[in-house]
Amino acid sequence: MNKVEKKRQREQHVVEEMIQLYCRKNHSKEERQGRKMCPVCQELSDYAKLRSQKCPFMEQKTFCANCKVHCYKPEKREQICQVMRFSGPRMILYHPFFAVWHLICSKKEKRNL
Ligand SMILES: [Zn+2]
């Protein structure tokens, strides 16, 4: 496996973890129906994976969120930013690197205000 592929897999894995954490704390057991995450979060996770798979800039960038090309649909970006805001501070401990996304999401918000 080459370097870019590894990076891609790592990104996908961490995003999934963050969505799972978010779902565990914000959505009910009933919504998850015994699965890792509820259908809404699962869809977001699949979407994030797909974007990452199709990303042509994987080599240069550190993470999807600091990419110049915003390939996320506005509604999905809103969703993923929500997940990042929630899971980001909790993930810093485990994945310091991924605090970046969280930072970018909060910056963007301030600009919009
Ligand atoms: Zn959920």
Cα separation of 26 and 51, whole Å?
Answer: 24
What residues does the ion ligand 1 have nearby, CB within 5 Å?
23, 27, 38, 41
* Residue 45 pLDDT > 90: yes
The rounded Å distance from CA 33 to ligand 1 centre is 11
Q: Chain-wide mean pLDDT for the chain? A: 79
Residue 50: how many other CB atoms lie within 10 Å: 12
At residue 106 the predicted structure's pLDDT band, cuts being 50, 70 and 90, is low
Is residue 88 classed as helix, strand or coil in its secondary structure?
helix
Q: Which helix (H) or strand (E) holds 42?
A: helix 39-54
Rounded CA-CA distance 95/100 in Å is: 10
Residue 104: pLDDT over 90: no
CA of 2 to the centre of ligand 1 (A): 33
Contact (CB, 8 A) for 45 and 12:
no
CB 58 within 8 A of CB 29: no
Q: Which residue has the higher pLDDT, 87 or 39?
A: 39
